[in-house]
Amino acid sequence: MDLKTRIGRSVKSTIVGGESYNAYIPQPLPPEPPIDIGNLYPLLDQANTALGRLDGMSMVLPNPSLFLYMYIRKEAVLSSQIEGTQSSLSDLLLFENEEAPGAPLDDVREVSCYVSAMSYGLERLKNFPLSLRLIREIHAKLMDNARGGNKQPGEFRTSQNWIGGSRPGTASFVPPPPEYLMECLDNFEKFLHDENTKLPVLIKAALIHAQFETIHPFLGGNGRLGRLLITFILCTHGILKEPLLYLSLYLKTNRRDYYNHLQSVRETGDWEAWIGFFLRGLIDTANQATQTAQAIVQLFNTDRQDIEQSGKATAALLTIHNYLQNNPITTTAKIKAACDISLPTVLRNLSTLEELGVVKEITGKERHKVFVYSQYLALLNKGTEPIG
């Protein structure tokens, strides 16, 4: 199969000072010649099975919204780490509890904005199609922080950007110049709504993500928004009932292969190799998410049994344990207010939970103590160690 017709064209542009550089204009989707799905069917079957198993977990979780709440935050941390932030999941949860995180505040705010953007997009998609307009709205939420303020939040770029290097002339990749941007985005939106091209949704998601990253339509936040699009597409097309699948851990672990595959699509037209990599990521990520969900359910059940068999189980103690499932990092004041329990009762029951190994106090202070549901947080924290 001759893949040359899939390769975009190069255009020569100049920057201030007269230095010239080559920018890349991708071919519109779908690729021509069409994707050769034959060799991809085994991976497609595995991916659909893994996603089906994960989707089924949302039916058996005692509180799917709880798992989703925490899982979205884990994804926000991972996706932002790929872009260079040093925030951990614990930092984000401390920030949301109005406690001082261990990472730079701007890093944590950036992750918090990712959570807002994701939640906003998922809510809007219930009655609004995935479109350029919605993508711009989500971008505005994503960049609503100190670092994003000068990067035209919610607006497509009007100047050249690039990836790698100090300027376009030394960059590893230069996306379309601003005068070609709307042409590329118009074609992109047409493919978003294209019902005539009969492709499996998972392959369509792979194509859309790679094309978005190649167009790079914003001055900042393209990587994070491109990763969000994957989940939005899976939910919009009914592949997942709940947004339980996020690829950032797989892409963080395999960053070099990820960037190499994207560049290979641009240079060789080999979409099939990229799609294979993408499907393996879906399989790996869906299986990990299912295992994490099962482990969390098991932990909650085991801890509840330990509480009930301790001889100290009271309504207040069980209420606090339930609250910790939604808030694995919290304070005595927060528990007192949320559970409507007196402070002495809160402290007595937290002491019991410490004895049972369910929680740990992490400040060592006499007042304004912060408690962590440590084993729960450890399960969620897998893979979120900052990139060295």
In a domain, 113, yes or no: yes
Choose among 280, 291, 285, 292: nearest CA to 46.
280
Task: Report the DSSP pairing between strands 20-25 and 370-372.
Answer: unpaired
Same-domain pairing of 189 and 333: no
- Residue 14: phi, psi to the nearest 5? -130, 150
Same domain as 317, residue 284? no
316 and 374 belong to one structural domain = yes
Q: Which CATH number belongs to the domain containing residue 267 in this structure?
A: 1.10.3290.10
Whether 89 and 203 share a structural domain: yes
Asked, as a colleague might, if the bond just before 243 is cis with ω within 30 of 0, I would say no
Query: pLDDT value at position 74?
Result: 78
Show which of 258, 292, 326 is a domain's final residue: 292
Q: How far is it between the farthest Cα atoms of the chain?
A: 79
Determine the Cα–Cα distance for residues 53 and 282; give it in Å rounded to an integer: 12
For the annotated catalytic residues, the residue numbers are 216
- 183 is a domain residue: yes
- Check: CB of residue 138 under 8 Å from CB of residue 222: no
pLDDT at residue 94 in the model: 75
Q: Tokens 């920018």 label which residue? A: 23
Which of 215, 166, 154 is CA-nearest to residue 23?
215
Does residue 223 share a domain with residue 357? no
CA of 188: how far to CAs of 55, 191, 216, 227, in Å? Answer: 28, 5, 12, 16
Q: Where in the sequence is the domain holding 326, given as residue range(s)?
A: 311-380
Per the annotation, does 246 bind a ligand? no
280 annotated binding-site participant: no
225 labelled as ligand-binding? yes
10-residue block means of pLDDT along the chain (388 residues)? 93 81 96 96 97 84 71 76 71 69 64 85 92 96 74 90 88 94 98 92 97 96 92 90 82 91 97 98 92 89 94 92 88 92 93 94 81 88 66
Which residues partner with 163 through β-bridges? 173
Residue 194 to residue 189: CA distance in whole angstroms: 9
In a domain, 297, yes or no: no
- Looking at the 3D structure of the chain, how many domains does it have? 2
**Which token pair is 118?**
């994701």
Three-class secondary structure of residue 14 per DSSP: strand
Question: Annotation-wise, does 227 bind a ligand?
Answer: yes
State CA 262 to chain mean position distance: 18
Look at residues 34, 45, 72, 46 and name the one whose alpha carbon lies nearest to residue 207: 34
Q: Known binder of ligand: residue 222? A: yes
Q: pTM to 2 decimals?
A: 0.88
* Residue 223 is labelled as binding a ligand: yes
Give the pLDDT of residue 106.
Answer: 67
User: Are both 333 and 216 inside the same structural domain?
Assistant: no
- 259 annotated as a binding-site residue: yes
pLDDT of residue 387: 55
